[in-house]
Amino acid sequence: MVDSCCAPGCRNRREQGNGKAFYRIPKDPERRQRWITAIKRARMSEHWEPSANGFRLCSDHFISGKKSENPRSPDYVPSIFKNVPTPEKKRKGMQLDEFDRGQKSKLQRCERVSSPQDRSLESSLQPTAENDTEAPAEESTYKELKEDFQPIPTDNDELATPLCSSETCRKYVKYLELKYQAIESENLLLKEKISSTGLNETGLQNYDKKINILTGLPTYSLLMTVFNVVAPFLQQSNHFRLTIFQQFMLTLIKLKMNLSFDFLAYYFGVDSSAVSEVFKHCISVMYCRLVPCLVIWPERESLRKSLPCAFSNSSFEMTVCIIDCFEICIEKPSDLLASTQCFSTCNTIKYLIAICPRGSICFISNGWGGRTSDKFITQQSNFLSHLLPGDLVLSDRDLDDEDHSLDSPEAEITIPVYTLGNNQLDPVKLENTECLESLRTHIEKVFGVLQQKYPILQSTMPIGLTDVDQENDVTYLDKVVKVCCALTNVSESLVHLPEQNYGSSI
């Protein structure tokens, strides 16, 4: 079987005379994991794992054209892949040049120490009676390091072969090797600790509870599924100094925890202006990629098949959704007209939401000023265009629809009947209303889940989020609300409707 390179986009194969070397994935656990992580990042996949001996990596993915066994070398781990931008490749090349110069400088210093003309320098390294008091401390440190650590196995001549002829120089080189090993081990432990506590793909793996707290998504696999949908459209920018995964996590944390931009800037180590820019860009990408495929109007056939018994065994079996309006507080607009349109009990933006009998959100309107009537929003929000003949919509809002202007052809919006000054309701109407209210109580839980999962919807929004994004012709606040609805829908179950028979005698 001809060896081929496992890197994405690389078609190199082992052929005679092509000058390509092919390397196995290392067996050393720490180095092997670093190689696999680099290849995963290039593949943009968290689920790739090499088989025991079946994968090779060609020499094109190392800066110098070959791997290095020196852990300090940039070529200790592959870093040149198709998705690496040219400026990054140049930077890695400069790192290798700097490493080579350092190695050459060390070699020259060792040669000078062992040369005949510098014997006086060699003699100065020999222990004398004057520094005998310091020798036990050095010897103790050396013994401790020797007991706890082993020298790094390497084919690098600098470490493998002592270059100094004097015994003192050789001991000192050995001491430095052990000291380096101790520092390197401590560094790796610190990196692992940072990785396990950081907001990156590796640090969040196997921490579903942590993910749920930070993002509202229940599992790591679901988090990565959503990320893989939006990742190709996020921008990797030196100005942001954040990876695309960090941009994604920043946005989800803002929605879930409703932390201030200043705190997020401090936490992620960037400017506040950059955080706001990242949030707006990422929420726009999530709006375009997630909302159209997660907040959808159900097909009538699939709706009928999934209708709970509470609906199918009652006079509401043609129900397609339950509608309601909710308001989000915003900062007071400086413009007098805008302030007048938004004023209700406070400055708010109002949304019409429609929820399927099973509990998923199937429609969310754009925002309107808080003083806008529910009936007007229902008429102008394109909601009625989704209704088909025979569809039934439930609502307990006072839509003031005596002229039936809200009904689409042969579709109906049903509102609970109240006494409206009468001493008693008609028994049939009362039973219908009790049935409707009992069903709708469960649907109200959906909005409770939405607000609980994403508390940003309960806060007072900055007035800047009401700016219209000219590219999509919607406000950033509309995007935030709709993305929260989409992420709520992606959860397995929002509301568990009781499978009991409401209104069986109706």
What number of other Cβ atoms are within 10 A of residue 388's Cβ? 12
So what's the pLDDT on residue 337?
55
Say what the pLDDT of residue 349 is. 92
Q: What is the DSSP string of 234-289?
A: S---TTTT--HHHHHHHHHHHHHH---HHHHHHHHTS-HHHHHHHHHHHHHHHHHH
Smallest Cα–Cα separation from 492: which of 222, 213, 205, 204?
222
Q: In whole angstroms, give the CA distance from residue 56 to residue 69.
A: 17
Pure H helices in 128-260:
135-148, 157-160, 167-197, 201-204, 208-215, 220-230, 244-257
Relative to beta strand 392-394, strand 361-364 is unpaired
- 8 Å CB contact between 370 and 349: yes
d(CA 82, CA 86): 10
The pair of three-digit structure tokens given for residue 452, joined into one six-digit string:
């609980």
- Tokens at residue 322, please? 């339950």
Q: Which residue has the tokens 């931008």?
A: 85
Q: Token digits for 68?
A: 């290095």
- Candidates 358, 303, 308, 313; CA nearest to 502 is 313
Amino acid identity, residue 106? K
Rg over CA atoms, the chain: 33
CB 165 within 8 A of CB 180: no
pLDDT on residue 425: 42
**Parts of the chain belonging to CATH 3.30.420:** 300-489
CB-based burial of residue 15 (10 Å sphere; 0-12 exposed, 13-18 middle, 19+ buried)?
exposed
| Among candidate residues 476, 477, 486, 488, the one with its CA nearest the CA of residue 451 | 488
**pLDDT 10s digit of each residue in the chain, 506 long?**
677 888 888 888 888 777 888 888 888 888 888 888 888 777 776 666 776 666 788 988 898 888 888 888 888 889 888 777 777 777 777 777 788 787 777 777 665 555 554 444 444 444 444 444 444 444 444 444 444 444 444 444 444 444 445 777 888 888 899 899 999 999 988 877 776 666 778 778 888 898 999 999 999 999 999 999 999 999 887 767 788 999 999 999 999 999 999 999 998 888 888 899 999 999 999 999 999 999 999 888 888 887 877 677 667 788 888 888 889 999 886 665 555 555 555 689 999 999 888 888 999 999 998 888 888 998 898 898 888 888 888 876 656 555 555 555 556 676 654 434 444 444 444 455 566 666 666 667 777 788 888 999 989 998 888 888 888 889 999 999 999 999 999 876 555 544 444 333 32
pLDDT at 248: 95
SS3 content of the chain, % helix, strand, coil (to 5): 50, 10, 40
pTM attached to this predicted model = 0.58
Whether 158 and 177 have beta carbons less than 8 Å apart is answered as no
What does 332-376 look like in DSSP terms, one character per residue?
PPSSHHHHHHHBSSSBEEEEEEEE-TTS-EEEEPPPEETTS-HHH
Report yes or no: 57 and 20 within 8 Å, Cβ to Cβ: no
378 phi, psi to nearest 5 deg: -60, -40
Kindly report the CATH number that applies to the domain delimited by 300-489: 3.30.420
Count CB atoms within 10 A of the CB of residue 452.
13
DSSP H or E segment with residue 433: helix 427-453
- Distance, first Cα to last Cα, the chain: 73
Q: How far apart are CA 175 and CA 500, in angstroms?
A: 77
Q: List C-alpha distances in Å: 146 to 2, 169, 185, 222.
A: 44, 17, 14, 47
Query: What is the C-alpha to C-alpha distance for residues 303 and 298, in angstroms, rounded to an integer?
Result: 6
Residue type (1 letter), 365: S
Max intra-chain CA distance, the chain: 117
For 29-46, how does the pLDDT look when each residue is reduced to its tens digit (9 = 90+)?
A: 888 888 888 887 777 766
Q: Which residue has the tokens 């025979």?
A: 390
Buried b (16+ CB within 10 A) or exposed e, 463-478: bebbeeeeeeebbbbb
Q: How far apart are CA 224 and CA 87, in angstroms?
A: 28
Q: Which phi and psi angles does 18 have, rounded to 5°?
A: -85, -5
